[in-house]
Amino acid sequence: MIDRLDLFVIGGGSGGVACARRAASYGAKVALAEDSRLGGTCVIRGCVPKKLMHYGAGVPHELDVARDMGWSFGEVRHDFRFFLEARNREIARLEDIYQGLLDRSGVRVVKARARVAGRDGEDFVVEAGQERFRTRRVMIATGGTPYVPDLPGIEHVVTSDHVLEDVYDRPGRVAVIGAGYIGVELGCVFHGFGAKTTLILRGDAPLRGFDEDLRHQLNQQIAESGVEIMPRSVVTSIERTADGLVLHGLERSVTADLVLYATGRRPQPRTSGIGLEALGIEMDYEGAILVDETYTSNVPGLLAVGDCSDHAGHGLDSGQHDLTPVAIAEGRAVAERFFNNRIQRVRYDTIATAIFSSPEAAACGMTEVRARAEGHDVLIFKANFRPMRTTMGQHAHRTFMKLVVDKHTDKVLGCHLVGPDTPEIIQMVAAAMTAGATKADFDDTVAVHPTAAEELVTMYQPVQD
Ligand code: FAD
């Protein structure tokens, strides 16, 4: 047993690393355990490899736009394995950077699975690999894992973990089951790389929880780009045949070389079997640790942030919570409160989120449905146009913009965008909304011309009900 720690962090992903580094910067004695690769989901098998694949898959569209502008090329070829290997080299570089950041912060890193072994008076005892630690506080930041339903043939399918971390041959036909943002993004990625792609979803349109207009605009544009979308469909079994994997239970059977399940992520099983049950930690049915506004569980000193945690009252529409910057903000808020005596609240109401699909989409704040459900009398402003960059040819995505405004206070409650560069645009809309911007503030802002974003400050006429 080594000397008593101030904090032991279980999980070296976005939330855990942010918390450990910030706490150590205030002189706390901190150790962190990671049983896979430092960086966690975001760096190793989430945001970063996904965005690199989004860039790679977008190149054929760029070439189409270039042709519309008079460029011509010889035969265009792509080496998929070369691309995945280059992607993985970049991820390995980032992983090393994480190790260096923790080392320089003075955080002791243990590359092992950790569990809370029990109590020693007021302290917790944590086991990681062969080592035992005594610590005043434990932070659980174990993230989530893909959830896959149990049905015949499920052993043939893959999840985002495989698609984003491994190296494999380019599939000719891909079926994606599930149309949350991960399913939509990866479906568009494979389509961009030339696979015949089918997106299979239970509901009417992708991205449940997002604004209805955003969902339907994106649905239409993705379908027009050539992705086959099968709404109101449930796969009941998967069969391996000589021709590929056959999905049964659908209106017509679908055969694919790669079947990707993107049917949600859960904190379990990572929050199971690590000593939390014995301590009587309260969790929800998916294994999320229930915490209060200080990210403390029902057991004082045992904290949780990021994807493995849940706390009531953050007022989010679904799809806006399990995100890297949220985990980081929560991790830092914990370090500030307990090691710097400073209360730093996370603003959940203006968290912006992006969908790196083709075309891209982004949102911040309330959907129209939610705003009305919460009793706001709303004005809706919309714009729908062809972005200038693609007006000279055949290969245009359309851009859609929507503002949800409170009629009485004039406050901008929500912003929902579809189109190129909208993830870049939404960040500054979120800053304005965090500052409490009204529609009049948007109107008083002189436009940058010619841009797509200028539409947001020149939408004068609300849509009539
Ligand atoms: P994680 O980053 O998952 O880290 C948890 C870590 O804990 C893991 O490294 C795990 O190995 C480790 N661990 C678990 N149990 C133990 C144990 N007992 N002992 C030791 N170590 C343990 N978010 C965005 O903001 N933007 C995006 O574009 C985006 N894209 C995504 C794309 C995909 C495909 C996925 C899956 C996620 C994406 N996310 C995105 C979500 C984002 O990755 C997560 O919200 C974020 O990583 C959560 O951070 P975390 O610290 O809670 O957990």
> Rounded to the nearest whole angstrom, what is the distance from the C-alpha of residue 209 to the centroid of ligand 1?
21
462: left (phi over 0), alpha (psi -120 to 50) or beta: beta
Domain with CATH 3.30.390.30 in the chain: 359-457
Domain with CATH 3.50.50.60 in the chain: 5-145+267-348, 148-262
Contact of 212 with 240, CB cutoff 8 Å: no
For the record, the structure tokens of 98 come out as 């994480």
Bridge-based pairing of strands 412-418 and 399-406 is: antiparallel
> Rounded to the nearest whole angstrom, what is the distance from the C-alpha of residue 421 to the centroid of ligand 1?
25
- Whether ligand 1 lies within 6 angstroms of the CB of 420 is answered as no
- Whether ligand 1 lies within 6 angstroms of the CB of 50 is answered as yes
In a mutational test of the pocket of ligand 1, which residue from 42, 52, 99 has the highest number of ligand atoms less than 8 Å from its CB? 42
- Whether ligand 1 lies within 6 angstroms of the CB of 231 is answered as no
For the record, the structure tokens of 64 come out as 């189409």
Indicate the burial class of 438 (C-beta count within 10 angstroms; 0-12, 13-18, 19 or more).
middle
- Residue 424: beta bridge partners? none
Cis bond leading into 152, ω under 30°?
no
In angstroms, the CA 257 to CA 195 distance is 10
CA 190 vs. chain centroid, Å, equals 18
User: What pLDDT is attached to residue 302?
Assistant: 98
All residues at 6 or more sequence positions from 313 whose CB lies less than 8 Å from its CB, including other chains = 293
Contact of 209 with 181, CB cutoff 8 Å: no
- Tell the residue nearest (CA) to atom 34 of ligand 1: 46
Please provide residue 122's backbone torsions phi and psi, each rounded to the nearest 5 degrees: -75, -20
What tens-digit pLDDT sequence spans the chain (465 residues)? Answer: 567 999 999 999 999 999 999 999 999 999 999 999 999 999 999 999 999 999 999 999 999 999 999 999 999 999 999 999 999 999 999 999 999 999 999 999 999 999 999 999 999 999 999 999 999 999 999 999 999 999 999 999 999 999 999 999 999 999 999 999 999 999 999 999 999 999 999 999 999 999 999 999 999 999 999 999 999 999 999 999 999 999 999 998 899 999 999 999 999 999 999 999 999 999 999 999 999 999 999 999 999 999 999 976 555 443 458 999 999 999 999 999 999 999 999 999 999 999 999 999 999 999 999 999 999 999 999 999 999 988 888 877 899 999 999 999 999 999 999 999 999 999 999 999 999 999 999 999 999 999 999 999 999 999 976
| Integer Rg of the chain from CA | 24
> Rounded to the nearest whole angstrom, what is the distance from the C-alpha of residue 40 to the centroid of ligand 1?
5
Catalytic residue among 54, 61, 321, 449: 449
At 129, is the secondary structure helix, strand, or coil? coil
- Residue 449 appears among annotated catalytic residues: yes
In angstroms, the CA 47 to CA 168 distance is 19
- b/e per residue 339-367 (b: at least 16 CB within 10 A): bbeeeeebebebbbbbbbbbbbbbbbbbb
In a mutational test of the pocket of ligand 1, which residue from 142, 188, 322 has the highest number of ligand atoms less than 8 Å from its CB? 142
- Whether ligand 1 lies within 6 angstroms of the CB of 11 is answered as yes
- Tell the residue nearest (CA) to atom 6 of ligand 1: 11
Q: So what CATH class is 359-457?
A: alpha beta
- Tell the residue nearest (CA) to atom 30 of ligand 1: 47
Question: Homologous superfamily of 148-262 in CATH?
Answer: FAD/NAD(P)-binding domain (3.50.50.60)
In angstroms, the CA 93 to CA 111 distance is 18
Angle between helix 80-105 and 47-68 (nearest 10): 140
> Rounded to the nearest whole angstrom, what is the distance from the C-alpha of residue 261 to the centroid of ligand 1?
17
> Rounded to the nearest whole angstrom, what is the distance from the C-alpha of residue 18 to the centroid of ligand 1?
12
Q: What angle do CA 284, 286, 291 make, to 5 degrees?
A: 40
Contact of 142 with 308, CB cutoff 8 Å: yes
Atom of ligand 1 nearest to the CA of 164: 34
All residues at 6 or more sequence positions from 79 whose CB lies less than 8 Å from its CB, including other chains = none
Cis bond leading into 231, ω under 30°?
no
> Rounded to the nearest whole angstrom, what is the distance from the C-alpha of residue 12 to the centroid of ligand 1?
9
In angstroms, the CA 383 to CA 228 distance is 27
Q: Which of 163, 226, 176, 167 is nearest to 206 (CA)?
A: 176
All residues at 6 or more sequence positions from 150 whose CB lies less than 8 Å from its CB, including other chains = none
Which H or E run includes 220?
A: helix 212-225
In a mutational test of the pocket of ligand 1, which residue from 10, 37, 47 has the highest number of ligand atoms less than 8 Å from its CB? 47
Considering the domain delimited by 5-145+267-348, tell me its CATH architecture: 3-Layer(bba) Sandwich (3.50)
Q: Which residue has the tokens 């109101």?
A: 232
Atom of ligand 1 nearest to the CA of 182: 34
Contact of 334 with 372, CB cutoff 8 Å: no
Q: Does the global pTM surpass 0.85?
A: yes
Angle between helix 14-25 and 80-105 (nearest 10): 30
> Rounded to the nearest whole angstrom, what is the distance from the C-alpha of residue 412 to the centroid of ligand 1?
31
- Tell the residue nearest (CA) to atom 37 of ligand 1: 46
Atom of ligand 1 nearest to the CA of 323: 45
- Whether ligand 1 lies within 6 angstroms of the CB of 33 is answered as yes
Please provide residue 145's backbone torsions phi and psi, each rounded to the nearest 5 degrees: -135, 155
**DSSP structural state of residue 177:** E
